[in-house]
């Protein structure tokens, strides 16, 4: 696969990829738990991948000082990007935080930081499952 120049991509493009990268981890996790019914899988996934859940996870990453300076920079690129879509069931601020969260994962994927993606995704799963994210759907 040809490597995209992630340094030149805007935050929305990074978020486009990051959304898929993070969602694969969540889907694999839910299947590993033994879930197999599509409705249940979709319902459970929203606890991890909704805009509200992702915004809460970013808040926890900040509180736990989990991200590097570069990672925060790419989060901010996504958060501050002009999006032509709008938040459907959440505030604009929450939607933008979620876009930043996804941009972070897109950056990590394109820069080849696969171990870091795994580390952050597993950390996110743990936060949701231990109830640290109060704002999920």
For 11-55, the DSSP string reads HHHHHHHHHHHHHHHHHHHHHHTT---HHHHHHHHHHHHSHHHHH
Q: Is 19 a catalytic residue?
A: yes
Distance CA 114, CA 110 (A): 9
Stated length of the chain: 137
HSE of 77, CA atoms in CB hemisphere, 13 A = 24
- Out of 5, 19, 59, 64, which one is annotated catalytic? 19
Contact 23, 45 (CB under 8 A): yes
Supply the residues annotated as catalytic. 19
């Amino acid at each position: 696969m040809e490597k995209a120049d992630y340094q030149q991509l805007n935050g929305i493009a990074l978020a486009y990829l990051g959304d898929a990268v993070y969602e694969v981890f969540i889907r694999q996790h839910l299947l590993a738990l033994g879930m197999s019914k599509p409705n249940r899988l979709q319902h459970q996934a929203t606890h991890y991948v909704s805009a509200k859940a992702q915004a809460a996870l970013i808040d926890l990453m900040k509180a736990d000082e989990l991200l590097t300076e570069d990672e925060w920079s790419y989060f901010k690129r996504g958060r501050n990007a002009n999006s032509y879509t709008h938040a459907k069931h959440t505030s604009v601020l929450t939607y933008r935080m979620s876009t930043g969260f996804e941009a972070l994962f897109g950056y990590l994927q394109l820069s080849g930081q696969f171990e870091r993606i795994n580390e952050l995704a597993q950390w996110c799963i743990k936060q949701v499952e231990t109830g640290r994210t109060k704002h999920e759907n």
